[in-house]
Amino acid sequence: MLKLKTDMRIPYALFIALRYLKSKKQKGISFNTIVSLGGVALGVMTLLVVLSVMSGFHEDLQKKILGVNAHAVVLSLEGTIENYDNLIAKLKTEDHVVSASPFVLGQVMLSRGENAQGVYIRGIEPGIEKTVTEIDKHMKEGSLDDLKAKEGELPGIILGNELALRLGAFKGDTVRVLSPTGELGPLGMLPRVREFRVAGVFEVGMFEYDSNLVLTDLNSAQEFFSLGNRVNGVELRLDDIYKAPDVRSAISLRLGMPYYVKDWIQMNRNLFAALKLEKITMFVILTLIILVASFNIVSTLMMNVIEKQREIAILKAMGATSRGIMAVFMIQGLLIGLVGTVIGVSGGYALGYVLNTYEIIKLPADVYYLSHLPVKMNMRDFVLVAFSALAISFSATIYPAWQAARLNPVEPLRYE
């Protein structure tokens, strides 16, 4: 019995599989091979681009949220905190806490001329705020230091870009801040009204903040809300944002009542949970594209088995085992999946790079919170998609290879 070997330094199953990828008798099989390869490549590329976009949304939203907000905040069930300097000193001794800053937060009505809008006003310490949040990096006009009023000037206020455009207010203009809670007079509750000087404009790129948030200095906010020396809470910046839940638990345990702590993950849990669920759903749905492409691999291999019945019979007569015949067609299908996956991964990376670099696709910021389509390419997503595509491609080869292995060599050679 002859032993099957080739003159090349590769196993005969791989050698034959490479030759079978191109049919000399039926051009249709070669075309089907190209279609199968293209289907895998398109599915992989589409899946990678979508996952990269979802990761980009997640990262961009996280970056914008943490650019305006602190990693954690300490609040009180009483509504306000007295002697916050002692509290800040105690908080700075906690592990992972880099900086702490007091703040005042309230809802007001902001107006200029006939234009008005309800907003959140946050009183901050400009110098310390730079060490807690990154709002100073998003300043479009002016700076946080401009909030401090010089002698004879109105207190400063910084507006979001969308809010400034809506009110028609720019740096140096005067706006009126009105609070529905004020002092009780003979005619009932009198609203508290005060004029502020527009000291600057910031633009985070997230519509919710750019249109609904204004900043002023801490003393002006305390005076406006009649808080005296009290604040609503203390902002914290951490050295590791993903340690926020642990820090929250440790500080809550140490401070006790009436204090409680909220971290950025907890405050935005619903948003990020929805994004994660959407990413998983898109992965499952778009994997069906690769699954459809795998049916092309099945049909291509089945046609190849039918065409190569005589060759398979000869191989068996020469001593090829059923396992060896299965290996030929399994390798053939796996090569189609491998080449398609490589092309898809390369195409997905190239398309993701172009979308991320040139910001081709613009988005309405008031709907999607973002001004352009963000793309974040994670190595984990690329590995997972490539492995899934190869696994599906390999699974598609099992049945055709099994059919080839169980072929009776007598039938094709009966009339030879």
- The pLDDT tens digits of the residues spanning 28-67 come to 457 778 888 999 999 999 999 999 999 988 888 888 888 8
Q: Is residue 125 part of a domain?
A: yes
pLDDT at 362: 83
Nearest CA to 222 out of 302, 327, 106 is that of 106
Please tell me whether residues 248 and 336 are part of one structural domain.
Answer: no
Please tell me whether residues 93 and 236 are part of one structural domain.
Answer: yes
Please tell me whether residues 39 and 141 are part of one structural domain.
Answer: no
Please tell me whether residues 83 and 148 are part of one structural domain.
Answer: yes
Domain boundary residue among 205, 228, 256? 256
Q: Which token pair is 38? A: 């293209």
Please tell me whether residues 275 and 394 are part of one structural domain.
Answer: yes
Please tell me whether residues 119 and 29 are part of one structural domain.
Answer: no
Please tell me whether residues 408 and 317 are part of one structural domain.
Answer: yes
Domain that holds residue 348: 12-65+271-413
Q: Residues 6 or more apart from 28 whose CB is under 8 A from it?
A: 303
Please tell me whether residues 122 and 251 are part of one structural domain.
Answer: yes
Answer for the pair 195, 111: CB distance below 8 angstroms, yes or no: no
Please tell me whether residues 49 and 125 are part of one structural domain.
Answer: no
Please tell me whether residues 54 and 87 are part of one structural domain.
Answer: no
Q: Residues 6 or more apart from 44 whose CB is under 8 A from it?
A: 290, 340, 341, 343, 344, 345, 347, 348, 385, 386, 389
Percent of the chain whose predicted confidence (pLDDT) is above 90 = 35
Q: Is residue 3 part of a domain?
A: no
Low-confidence ranges of the chain (pLDDT < 50): 1-9, 28
pLDDT digits (tens, 9 = 90+) for 288-319: 888 988 898 898 888 888 888 888 888 887 88
Domain boundary residue among 222, 256, 290? 256
Q: Is residue 207 part of a domain?
A: yes
| pTM listed for this prediction | 0.76
Number of folded domains that form the chain: 2
Please tell me whether residues 61 and 88 are part of one structural domain.
Answer: no
Nearest CA to 34 out of 392, 386, 300 is that of 300
